[in-house]
Amino acid sequence: MKFPGIWLLAALCSLPLCLQAGGDTAKLWYDKPATHWEKEALPIGNGRLGAMIFGGVSHEQIQFNESSLWIGDETDTGAYQAFGDLFTDLPVTSPAPTNYRRELDLARAVHTVTYTQNGVQYRREYFASHPANILILRLTADHPGSYTGTLRLTDMHQGKVISNGPRFAVTGSLAGYVYEEGSPKYSVALDYEAQVLVVNEGGSLQSTAGQIEFKGVDSLTVYLNAGTDYVNDRRRHWRGEPPHDRVLAGIQAASATPYPALLAAHLADQERLFGRVALQLGNPPTTPDLPTDLRLLNYAKGARETALEALLFQYGRYLLIASSRDGLPANLQGLWNNSNRPPWRSDYHTDVNVQMNYWMADPANLSECFAPYANWLNSIREVRKAATQEAFHTRGWTMRAENGVFGGSTWEWVESGSAWCMQNIWDHYAFTRDDRYLRELAYPMMKEVCEFWSDRLKLRPDGKLVAPNGYSPEHGPREDGVSHDQQLIWDVFNNTVEAADALGIDRAFRDSLAAKRDALLGPRIGKWGQLQEWAVDRDDPQDKHRHLSHLVAVHPGRQITPGKTPELAAAARVSVNARGDVSTGWSTAWKINIWARLLDGDRAYKLIGNLLRLVGDTRMNYQDGGGLYANLFDTHPPFQIDGNFGYTAGVCEMLVQSHTDEIQLLPALPKAWASGKVSGLRARGDVTVDIEWQDGKVIHYRLTSPTPHLVKARVNGELLSIPTEKP
């Protein structure tokens, strides 16, 4: 069967894209240590373990996390927790160090600190190895015996820290911890453990008074591992084996491997994912020899720099690789958190935020990073079914706005939230064409969400079906036929119809969904030409609310497009224009995507300018506009990673779109990107896209797929039917 965007892939012209994903264009660097976790420290991660690194000379802090360290249960969201810190203290000497550089190489996923002091050149390397599944720190110098100091390990939950020879260990339990006063004591009380092994070359090590002293060593290699007894399985009550053996085995295996081999395996793993996509904006691009924070400051002052825009695109890809591999999905802060009461619980918000985290996974060629999200949704289905049955007396399941790892869900019911999650679930199939994934994982979830809405929809006197007592996050009254609900129900019904067709199953169910889809109250145009947010025409043209909930049919959905529904697309333009350009970080990122879908590249680019704004505010601020911190973390404010991921998704939408029945090359190219190159972007239908353009026109392109076939592609405004190439 054919469905929009699936048969596209072609190679008409060979594309000599001599692009590099790495190089200086994929580095963040600074000329001084970080002093603030949220605004300045730099992240590393392997999907399960993460760390924020400060890079201090005499006092180094490595704040670390493990993705399953959660409080909560099946009734309460709880919160993601900070794990601990590893501190390195070195004697203060004079003169002050020179040639200091703190750098995060995205292509290598290695953080380095280098400086010179008293004629000695010092170097530190930090990385979170996915192959070895641990964090590694190595300190070296060009003179022997140059390191003397101490290491300390601390725990955020008052666990017992023990030092013994070259080792630290901390063990504890989350029993009794709460996110806020008055919360229940949680029934899922995870046990946790962290271990550190320090290996020296030259000099000596000694454990004393809860710390490890090192004297006159040539180099130090530090291995850090942490874990909990959490398992992603309700049948086991979310608890598995104690973490001790796993944590210890990881340390032992890594320490038995020569450091060059550990690093080489890590680099190869990062290249396999990160190196798939290269982006050059401008011809040729210019990268000022300035620290990243100064580049961002200059950009905000008007010195717009396409190399910085490309760097932020690749940073989003780096962050998803670092926070979403084998275990749990990226949360509101990805993987990184230094608080036991983080903003918004650092949870999985299902009224836009967790969905936005995964918009870019497939378009940016990181399909593997999507799996934790799908697996988490699958794991909480039974919990959500029970809660949904109790609240709504229906089949299927849905969610409240705040969600945790045990299926607990709190705050406002967002009845269409599960349908929105299913939009991600379907899109992953649309990109990959993985029939096994669709049959075994995606379709069963999609069907259950459709059952919820089949039971819940209400018939109006005019014969239209509406969602009763609906909600437009986080805005306005509850009432029937809210546009956000109507559009997402249309989306999940439509996608499930196509899924059933693709699998050749459930004909009667499929036909009933198609009939209900066609009977839904559809998008409406209001009195000032806007796309209505509610069935009642009450939209205020002065309303600047951050949520764009009535525009999900434009993006990430496909119900409204300029080509097929031009009047509705024009109304959507009126609505998003009225909302204004100044908003929170994630809202700005969503607007970039919406303007790209409306084929207005220059307006999308204007919003990019708003996002690339240096912000210092770390309060919970809904009014003054988001932007970026010096470390390029997106800020609501405070830090929320969805804006980083949403920006990367938006750049993908500006360069390649495939949500209709064709692949569009450069559908929303701004004048500022008149020339450039990109390789490795993905289109629906298991298609990889390379493009080179000059003066706003495609001059070379290449479309590849594992199985060559004909696709429709729009190139420089002309719709072509093209046979794809093998990679």
pLDDT tens-digit readout, 57-80: 999 999 999 999 999 999 999 999
Q: What backbone phi and psi angles, to 5 degrees, belong to 576?
A: -70, -30
pLDDT tens-digit profile of 427-436? 999 999 999 9
The two three-digit tokens of residue 351, written as one number = 């009224």
Residue 447, pLDDT above cutoff 80: yes
62 close to 82: Cβ distance less than 8 angstroms: no
646 close to 359: Cβ distance less than 8 angstroms: yes
Mean pLDDT of 390-403: 98
Q: Are residues 263 and 153 in the same domain?
A: yes
pLDDT tens-digit profile of 313-355? 999 999 999 999 989 999 999 999 999 999 999 999 999 999 9
Residue 24, pLDDT above cutoff 80: no
Domain end residue (candidates: 546, 580, 614): 580
Question: With pLDDT > 70 as the criterion, what percentage of the chain qualifies?
Answer: 97
Query: How far is Cα 680 from Cα 488, in angstroms, rounded to an integer?
Result: 30
pLDDT score, position 23: 43
The two three-digit tokens of residue 727, written as one number = 């990679």
Query: How far is Cα 127 from Cα 122, in angstroms, rounded to an integer?
Result: 17
Mean pLDDT of 144-160: 96
Query: How far is Cα 157 from Cα 105, in angstroms, rounded to an integer?
Result: 32
In a domain, 654, yes or no: no
Query: How far is Cα 722 from Cα 710, in angstroms, rounded to an integer?
Result: 5
In a domain, 700, yes or no: no
Question: With pLDDT > 90 as the criterion, what percentage of the chain qualifies?
Answer: 91
**The total number of structural domains that make up the chain:** 2
- β-strands 710-715, 663-665 pairing: parallel
pLDDT tens-digit profile of 96-132? 999 999 999 999 999 999 999 999 999 999 999 999 9
Query: How far is Cα 576 from Cα 76, in angstroms, rounded to an integer?
Result: 35
Classify burial at 183, counting beta carbons within 10 Å of its beta carbon; exposed 0-12, middle 13-18, buried 19 or more.
Answer: middle
CA dihedral 616, 618, 620, 625 (to 10 degrees): 20
Q: Are residues 114 and 253 in the same domain?
A: yes
Question: Domain containing 258 — which CATH number?
Answer: 2.70.98.50
pLDDT tens-digit profile of 174-227? 998 988 877 777 779 999 999 999 999 999 999 988 899 999 999 999 999 999
Query: How far is Cα 401 from Cα 417, in angstroms, rounded to an integer?
Result: 7
pLDDT score, position 184: 75
User: With left for phi above 0 and alpha for psi between -120 and 50, is residue 430 left, alpha or beta?
Assistant: alpha
In a domain, 691, yes or no: no
Q: Are residues 269 and 373 in the same domain?
A: no
pLDDT score, position 6: 28
Q: Which residues contact 204 (CB under 8 A, 6 or more apart)?
A: 214, 215, 216, 217
Domain end residue (candidates: 547, 580, 613): 580
The two three-digit tokens of residue 610, written as one number = 């708003």
Q: What backbone phi and psi angles, to 5 degrees, belong to 664?
A: -105, 125
Domain that includes residue 433, residue range: 366-580
CA dihedral 544, 548, 551, 555 (to 10 degrees): 130
Residue 14, pLDDT above cutoff 70: no
pLDDT score, position 316: 98
Q: Are residues 428 and 560 in the same domain?
A: yes
Q: What backbone phi and psi angles, to 5 degrees, belong to 272?
A: -60, -35
Q: Are residues 233 and 382 in the same domain?
A: no
In a domain, 176, yes or no: yes
Residue 404, pLDDT above cutoff 80: yes
Give the lowest-confidence range in 45-59, 251-265, 286-300, 451-465: 286-300
pLDDT score, position 20: 39
pLDDT score, position 18: 36
Q: Which residues contact 717 (CB under 8 A, 6 or more apart)?
A: none
pLDDT tens-digit profile of 160-183? 899 999 999 999 999 989 888 777
In a domain, 625, yes or no: no
The two three-digit tokens of residue 234, written as one number = 């309700």
The two three-digit tokens of residue 508, written as one number = 């009667």
Secondary structure, 3-state, 635-675: ECCCECCHHHHHHHHHHHHHHEECCCCCEEECCCCCHHHCC
Comparing CA positions, the residue from 364, 170, 128, 140 lying closest to residue 254 is 128
Give the other-Cβ count within 10 Å of 269's Cβ.
18
The two three-digit tokens of residue 488, written as one number = 């997402």
Residue 534, pLDDT above cutoff 90: yes
pLDDT score, position 5: 31
Residue 498, pLDDT above cutoff 70: yes
Distances (CA, A) of 187 to 71, 363, 505: 9, 39, 40
| Distance between first and last Cα of the chain | 24
Query: How far is Cα 656 from Cα 10, in angstroms, rounded to an integer?
Result: 14
474 close to 547: Cβ distance less than 8 angstroms: yes
Please, what is the average pLDDT of the chain?
Answer: 94
Question: Domain containing 482 — which CATH number?
Answer: 1.50.10.10
Query: How far is Cα 205 from Cα 680, in angstroms, rounded to an integer?
Result: 48
pLDDT tens-digit profile of 671-717? 999 999 999 999 999 999 999 999 999 999 999 999 999 999 999 99
- β-strands 219-228, 409-414 pairing: unpaired
Query: How far is Cα 387 from Cα 630, in angstroms, rounded to an integer?
Result: 42
In a domain, 150, yes or no: yes
In a domain, 590, yes or no: no
pLDDT tens-digit profile of 504-522? 999 999 999 999 999 999 9
In a domain, 672, yes or no: no
Residue 503, pLDDT above cutoff 90: yes
Q: Are residues 398 and 269 in the same domain?
A: no
Residue 726, pLDDT above cutoff 90: yes
Give the lowest-confidence range in 20-29, 298-307, 433-442, 580-589: 20-29
Please tell me whether residue 441 adopts helix, strand or coil conformation: helix
Domain end residue (candidates: 539, 556, 580): 580
Instruction: Find the helix or strand (DSSP H, E) in which 228 lies.
Output: strand 219-228
pLDDT score, position 185: 75
Residue 9, pLDDT above cutoff 60: no
Q: Confidence class of residue 283 from pLDDT cuts 50, 70 and 90?
A: confident
The two three-digit tokens of residue 431, written as one number = 């990109």
